[in-house]
Structure 1
Amino acid sequence: MDNLSLPEFSLQLRQQQPQRSFSFNWQGQKLWIKQQEPALPAWRRVLPKLIASLSSNPLYFPSIEPVAALAGEAKRLQLLGSLGFNVPRVLVASEEYLVLSDVGPSLKYWLTEAQPDAKQRREILLRAAAALAKLHQHNRWHGRPALRDLCWDGKQIGFIDFEENPHQQLSIDQCMVRDVLIFIHGLYRYLEHTDPLIEEVITEYRRLAPGRVWRDSLAVVEQMWLVYPLLELSHGLLGKDGKQALLALRQLRQHRSDQQRSKLPWIVLSLLLAYTLADQFD
């Protein structure tokens, strides 16, 4: 190891490790290797595009192009790092893999394994809401800010996994709306649905984020006027992700205004939206 450069050592590790993403130690530092994702089957690319084009809903637009995903992620990480955001440093970049610095354990780890006390849990999640709001204040977006893609090193929130770039097909504001809905869904994934901290975290984001992004998020929820009752009616048939999506929509509908509801005449389309919702949020 002492005689190998970081790219050489990384290549050696890749030949030994089957995982797509894994950590390793290099000169006392925890680093990560992230490898290219296999191409999706054709139907996994076509169906979301069809649903998205019919619904105009930013949640359903496919946002990963596996062939170019790593190159795009490296560019976004370098840009966000130059703007002062806490993201991994790109130490090695190739078409097949990246070597990245570590920015701390994920929020998923903190909420499911670390077992922080109530005060620390509250601090972490409020900091996460503030960090996402700050990203949006700078007209930047994450793409899929699930809690497993946000990190906490004990001092600050970090963002990881920037493969998803919905800006390929959506406006910047739509990308930020997508962030909001995915982030709120993540709260229901790891907190009890009756936990008052959920509303507190949402309020913190709303307080700090651009007002137009919050209003547009509620407008998207309004556009799902037919999806929501279908989810409610099929509650007993939904899996864990579907139930969490329903809870997130229910929470957001409490904030809605009397906006004009869009009318989708296709019942079949609404059913497709209902049952693909959880997969896109996850």
Structure 2
Amino acid sequence: MAQTRVQRVADPGRIAWRKTYSDGGRRRRIAVLRWVARRLGANSLLAPIPLSPELACRTEQAMIRRLATLGARVPQILEIGDRELLLSDLGATLAETCRREPDPARRRDLVSQGLDALHDLHRRGGYLSQAFARNLTIDAQGIGFIDLEEDPATMMSLAAAQARDVLFYAHSTARFLTDLPGEHARLLSAHLGRESDETRREVSRTAGKLAWLAPLARPFGARARAVGEALRSLRTATA
């Protein structure tokens, strides 16, 4: 998979980000992840085939343009090179904003806004590359989507790609609501009620196949516990 490096560019009157694509070194890890996903029958977790820097750059351009056509808030492409893009700024990431927010109720509202944005995108037929909270942005204009160098639909159905969004978002936001027991699951349950039947079934099927991992995550670090919390939320939401 192509690796990316993002550098902040401050010009008079604007902030932009120069994103450079280079050859990555995670092919063996991705091959293992693909094998595990296939063994579990979790199609929505299949990692896309690694791309060259040039193809990753072109994929991000295509994803940005496709989502923009659907009315999603994505970066404006300011400059294009074979292995780099200059992209407009969309504000702080949702993950950063949640980490800085001391009020649990406000964090709940932030996570809910991200789910609303995913719902709006999905009902228009869209999907993201990796819907982690670090790849969503938020400012006065609302939620935006960044880091779009993968196209999951090259490997899976639309329903699976949208289920992947829900699964990744759940994984990356569970830790922000641990001081509001049960609230993460309630938000996910309400969101899944708005998804298509096929997407909802895909999320439920994958959550069921991964449920056995939740108790195993307790003794390990914060990241592992976050995975466990997300899996418990998903199982509750899809029960």
Which range moved further: 104-113 or 49-58? 49-58
Do 1:110 and 1:116's aligned partners in 2 also have CA atoms closer than 8 Å?
no
Q: Which residue of 1 aligns with 2:6?
A: 21
Q: Shift in Å at residue 140 of structure 1?
A: 1.2
Aligned length: 234
Identify if the C-alpha distance between structure 1 residues 250 and 155 changes in structure 2 by more than 3 Å, giving closer, same or farther.
Answer: same
| Alignment-mate amino acid for residue 38 of structure 2 | S
Q: Which residue of 2 aligns with 1:76?
A: 63
Do 1:134 and 1:208's aligned partners in 2 also have CA atoms closer than 8 Å?
no
Q: Which residue of 1 aligns with 2:77?
A: 90
Q: Which residue of 1 aligns with 2:21?
A: 36
Find the residue that maps to 1:208 and give its secondary structure. coil
Q: Which residue of 1 aligns with 2:221?
A: 239
Identify if the C-alpha distance between structure 1 residues 249 and 43 changes in structure 2 by more than 3 Å, giving closer, same or farther.
Answer: same
| Structure 2 segments unaligned to the other structure (5+ residues) | none
Do 1:32 and 1:101's aligned partners in 2 also have CA atoms closer than 8 Å?
yes
RMSD: 2.3
Separation in structure 2 between the aligned mates of residue 173 and residue 255 of structure 1, nearest angstrom: 18
The counterpart of 1:214, out of the listed 191, 197, 200, is 200
Q: Which residue of 1 aligns with 2:96?
A: 109
Question: 1:53-68 alignment to 2 at 5 Å?
Answer: 53-63=38-48, 64-67=50-53, 68=55
Do 1:108 and 1:147's aligned partners in 2 also have CA atoms closer than 8 Å?
yes
Identify if the C-alpha distance between structure 1 residues 251 and 229 changes in structure 2 by more than 3 Å, giving closer, same or farther.
Answer: same
Find the residue that maps to 2:86 and give its secondary structure. strand
Q: Shift in Å at residue 118 of structure 1?
A: 5.0
Separation in structure 1 between the aligned mates of residue 218 and residue 229 of structure 2, nearest angstrom: 10
Do 2:93 and 2:135's aligned partners in 1 also have CA atoms closer than 8 Å?
yes
Q: Over residues 135-188 of structure 1, what are the superposed CA-to-partner deviations in whole Å (9 max), with x where a residue is unaligned?
A: 111221112111111111123111111113222211111111111111111111
Q: Shift in Å at residue 133 of structure 1?
A: 0.8
Identify if the C-alpha distance between structure 1 residues 249 and 70 changes in structure 2 by more than 3 Å, giving closer, same or farther.
Answer: same
Q: Shift in Å at residue 197 of structure 1?
A: 3.9
Find the residue that maps to 1:161 and give its secondary structure. coil
Identify if the C-alpha distance between structure 1 residues 195 and 231 changes in structure 2 by more than 3 Å, giving closer, same or farther.
Answer: closer
Find the residue that maps to 2:15 and give its secondary structure. strand
- TM-score, with length taken from structure 2: 0.87
Q: Which residue of 1 aligns with 2:134?
A: 148
Which range moved further: 48-57 or 26-35? 48-57
| Alignment-mate amino acid for residue 226 of structure 2 | Q
Question: Which structure: larger Rg?
Answer: 1
Identify if the C-alpha distance between structure 1 residues 123 and 60 changes in structure 2 by more than 3 Å, giving closer, same or farther.
Answer: closer
Q: Over residues 108-133 of structure 1, what are the superposed CA-to-partner deviations in whole Å (9 max), with x where a residue is unaligned?
A: 121113x3645543433222111101
Do 2:63 and 2:149's aligned partners in 1 also have CA atoms closer than 8 Å?
no
Q: Which residue of 2 aligns with 1:47?
A: 32
Separation in structure 1 between the aligned mates of residue 217 and residue 187 of structure 2, nearest angstrom: 28
| Alignment-mate amino acid for residue 54 of structure 1 | R
